[in-house]
């Protein structure tokens, strides 16, 4: 596998290689940025200590809940919990209702 990767790198044109390097640097910057801004808004707003809310983010890059406290919460409206957990304020069923009322 490693040999295939090395061969693929040698087959790149100069322009392709430069684009790959720029893309790699963007990914590094995004990773550093997300590591610096690790803060869970749910825990912070609920008065949890700084050491706790600065240990994790509320959600991951795909929108799945990462907060252990929110993951344990069960929405009273739709029973969602775990990676899809949310408070009643952000319940998709409420959002659908609000959209119909404002139409």
pLDDT, residue 73, reads 97
Q: Is the Cβ–Cβ distance between 58 and 69 less than 8 Å?
A: no
Mean pLDDT of 40-53: 96
pLDDT at 13 over 80: yes
What's the pLDDT at 27?
86
Q: Which of 43, 83, 86, 81 is nearest to 64 (CA)?
A: 83
d(CA 101, CA 98): 5
How high is the pLDDT of residue 12? 84
Q: What is the pTM of this model?
A: 0.59
pLDDT at 60: 86
In CATH terms, the superfamily for domain 36-103 is: Nanos, RNA-binding domain (4.10.60.30)
What pLDDT band is residue 86 in, cutting at 50, 70 and 90?
Answer: very high
């Amino acid at each position: 596998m490693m040999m295939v990767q090395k061969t693929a790198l040698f087959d790149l044109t100069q322009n392709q290689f430069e684009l790959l390097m720029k893309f790699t640097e963007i990914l590094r910057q995004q990773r550093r940025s997300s590591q610096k801004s690790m803060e869970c808004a749910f825990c912070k707003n609920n008065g949890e200590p700084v050491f706790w809310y600065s240990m994790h983010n509320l959600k991951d890059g795909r929108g799945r809940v990462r907060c252990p406290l929110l993951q344990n919460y069960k929405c009273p409206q739709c029973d969602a919990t775990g990676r899809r957990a949310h408070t009643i304020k952000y319940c998709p069923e409420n959002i659908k209702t609000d959209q119909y009322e404002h139409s």
